[in-house]
Structure 1
Amino acid sequence: MNAMTHTITLDKFHTVYISVGSNLGDRLENCRQGMAALDALDSVHVEFISRYYFTEPMDYTDQPWFVNAAARIRTRLGPAELLAELKSLEAAYGRKDTGVRFGPRPLDFDIIFLDDRVIDIPDLIVPHPRMHLREFVLRPICDLAPEMVHPVLKKTIRELLYALKSSGQSCIPVEALAN
């Protein structure tokens, strides 16, 4: 592991794609407030937010549906520092370690991409190792950057989403259900 991975780069902004999700409480409002709290940090600027989607839970399915979205942010924080900020926001919104992996949560952030880097440090792998299997991650990122190329899989987000079409995952735009 390179110690430089953990340092804050003061002269360079990083472009980061994150996902946000919630399936407890007012899910949509939790996601919106979480994004606003993220943007309020001095070290982060939220540039764009995707549409919000209602999504079926995966892996652990005996729980409420999620609301999910993605954002493109700019930050000077390194990967470990950004992860710490995201975990702090999750805790501030009531996330607790229940011991249930993939279980219900009021707010969940994941770092999906950080520039075009491949990162493997304690508690963080980027690109997110399961993102290409999850429509609730791919579809919102496709709203923001359909032609972005996954640095490991060497496919665009649009291609990864298309390849996933047969998975049967439900991912419904929130506004489609508001009418």
Structure 2
Amino acid sequence: MTASSKETILIALGANLPSARFGAPRVTLEAALAAIAAKGVQILRRSSWWESEPMPVSDQPWYVNGVASIATTLEPAALLALLHGVEAEFGRIRGARNEARLLDLDLLAYGDRRRDGPEPPLLPHPRLADRAFVLLPLTEVAPDWHHPVSGESVRQLIARLPEGQRIRRVEG
């Protein structure tokens, strides 16, 4: 099945550790986008890069985050496998949740598809509505996006974000 032009497919990118191969997190994220595109996924739009405090707050370095809108013929599970493959190519070893990382690629939404079963990917991403580092960049690539489950707009989701999330745009 081919993703139609009406299906908004969104991915999140993040990193807070330098890579031996690419250097600073922002450079690693740019390289990750290029690697995703080289595998046949079309990058339609990319947000600015944003820096955000780790969640939960810790002594880790701040993250660099962004969101991209993409087009692909891959189904959600195959797309998630591709993203995890890119993470592995870049040296990510999955360990504890919320740990510092060289690269984090998440499938946020795949059109209006919903999936909450035991097998990944969960759609939409179960924590995207609570994260400023996802929602603020998301407004740049899909300002009219609505959460497939709640029906809320991205701006409504931003308005009800939990307090205390520190985030700043670092590049336009």
TM-score of the alignment, normalized to the shorter chain, above 0.5: yes
Match status 1:103 vs 2:99: yes
Q: CA deviation at 1:60?
A: 5.9
1:162 alignment partner, one of 148, 155, 159: 159
Structure 2 counterpart of 1:33:
31
Match status 1:72 vs 2:62: no
Between stretches 49-58 and 59-68, larger displacement belongs to: 59-68
Structure 1 counterpart of 2:21:
none
Contact 2:52/2:166, CA 8 A, preserved across alignment: yes
Structure 2 counterpart of 1:173:
169
Give the secondary-structure state (helix, strand or coil) at the position aligned to 2:68.
strand
Structure 2 counterpart of 1:89:
86
Q: CA deviation at 1:123?
A: 2.6
Q: CA deviation at 1:11?
A: 7.5
Give the secondary-structure state (helix, strand or coil) at the position aligned to 1:119.
coil
- Equivalent pairs counted in the alignment come to 165
For 1:110, the aligned partner's letter is: D
Between stretches 115-124 and 135-144, larger displacement belongs to: 115-124
Give the secondary-structure state (helix, strand or coil) at the position aligned to 2:35.
helix
Q: CA deviation at 1:41?
A: 1.1
**Aligned-pair RMSD on alpha carbons?**
1.7
TM-score, structure 2 length as denominator?
0.90
Q: Distance in 1 between matches of 2:87 and 2:52?
A: 19
Q: CA deviation at 1:119?
A: 1.8
Q: Distance in 2 between matches of 1:151 and 1:18?
A: 15
The answer for unaligned runs of 5 or more in structure 2 is 19-23
Contact 2:2/2:72, CA 8 A, preserved across alignment: no
Structure 2 counterpart of 1:5:
none
More helix by share: 1
Structure 1 counterpart of 2:15:
22
Contact 1:39/1:46, CA 8 A, preserved across alignment: yes
Q: Distance in 2 between matches of 1:133 and 1:64?
A: 20
The answer for unaligned runs of 5 or more in structure 1 is 1-8
Structure 1 counterpart of 2:147:
150
Contact 1:15/1:75, CA 8 A, preserved across alignment: no
Give the secondary-structure state (helix, strand or coil) at the position aligned to 1:57.
coil
Q: Distance in 2 between matches of 1:161 and 1:49?
A: 19
Q: Distance in 2 between matches of 1:70 and 1:10?
A: 22
For residues 97-123 of structure 1, the C-alpha deviation after alignment (integer angstroms, 9 at most, x for no partner) is 23x211011111111110111123413
TM-score, structure 1 length as denominator?
0.86
Structure 1 counterpart of 2:60:
63
Structure 2 counterpart of 1:3:
none
